[in-house]
């Protein structure tokens, strides 16, 4: 199974601060078809996960452009440029290049 | 619009079988596959399995011996059955369409006597 290691487990940020979350994979996520199936999700308390980013860096419809994704192979990053109060929750990276797996999550808290 | 909704019993006895239904609308099961995912209280997400648009299935190797996913395309329903339940199977169970954009709200299942 592909293991996704997310760091840090917790982020404490002030409004307007920029933060980054790392997601490292135990195997390359580059599919034989040339796509890299690495997504980022946000789960707010008591809600289902909601999609933020797909294919490493593509913003899902309706997601603010303060969110951005980057990376390749085994190293990926989610960046929030200017945290807002509504961004609090748990962020997960997930891959489905191989059988799907999820990172352990990063909890974003607002100071 | 696309919707998925899970349903099933909230409480299951240890050693018994869990049966859940994911009812979808806004798309056809012959066009899109559906995943099952679970999340123990306060913990992360675990993929359980997928039923693809052609009816084929893939399962998490850790659950494969206990898990079965099937569907009724005429009713737009996907079914999950998992046997030999234990307390560690207590979780919120969610379905999500392939590509992971659309998710159901989840159903809480407690395994307890």
**pLDDT tens column, A58-86:** 999 999 999 999 999 999 999 999 999 99
Q: Lay out the sheet containing B57-59: strands in order across.
A: B11-12, B107-111, B91-97, B34-39, B46-51, B57-59
Which residues are paired to A90 by β-bridges?
A43, A107
Confidence band for B72, pLDDT divided at 50, 70 and 90:
very high
Please indicate if any CB of chain B lies within 8 Å of the CB of A107. Answer: no
Cβ-Cβ contacts under 8 Å between A and B: the total is 37
Give the mean pLDDT of chain A.
Answer: 97
Q: Which residues contact A75 (CB under 8 A, 6 or more apart)?
A: A22, A23, A24, A25
Assess contact for B22 and B95: CB atoms under 8 A.
yes
Quick one: average pLDDT of A16-23? 98
pLDDT of the residue at A111: 87
The CB density around residue A12, as the number of other CB atoms within 10 Å, is 12
Give the minimum alpha-carbon distance from B74 to chain A in angstroms, rounded to a whole number.
27
- The residue to which tokens 């990276």 are assigned: A93
Q: Could you tell me the two tokens for A66?
A: 């303060």
């Amino acid at each position: 199974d592909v293991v996704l290691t997310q760091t840090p487990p917790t982020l404490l940020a002030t409004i307007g601060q920029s933060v980054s979350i790392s997601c490292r994979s135990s195997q390359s996520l580059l599919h034989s078809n040339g796509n890299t199936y690495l997504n980022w999700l946000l789960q707010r308390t008591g809600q289902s996960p909601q999609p933020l980013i797909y294919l490493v860096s593509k913003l899902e419809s309706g997601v603010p452009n303060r969110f951005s994704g980057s990376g390749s192979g085994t190293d990926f990053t989610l960046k929030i440029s200017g945290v807002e109060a509504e961004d609090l929750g748990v962020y997960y990276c997930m891959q489905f290049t191989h059988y799907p797996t999820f990172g352990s999550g990063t909890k974003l808290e607002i100071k | 619009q696309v919707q998925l909704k899970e349903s099933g019993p909230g409480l299951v006895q240890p050693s018994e079988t869990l049966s859940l239904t994911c009812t979808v609308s806004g798309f056809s099961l012959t066009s899109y596959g559906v995943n099952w995912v679970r999340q123990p209280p306060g913990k992360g997400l675990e993929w359980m399995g997928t039923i693809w648009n052609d009816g084929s299935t893939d399962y998490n190797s850790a659950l494969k011996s206990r898990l079965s996913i099937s569907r009724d395309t005429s009713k737009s329903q996907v079914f999950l059955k998992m046997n030999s339940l234990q307390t560690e199977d207590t979780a919120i169970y969610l379905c999500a369409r392939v590509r992971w954009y659309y998710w159901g709200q989840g159903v809480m299942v407690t395994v307890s006597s």
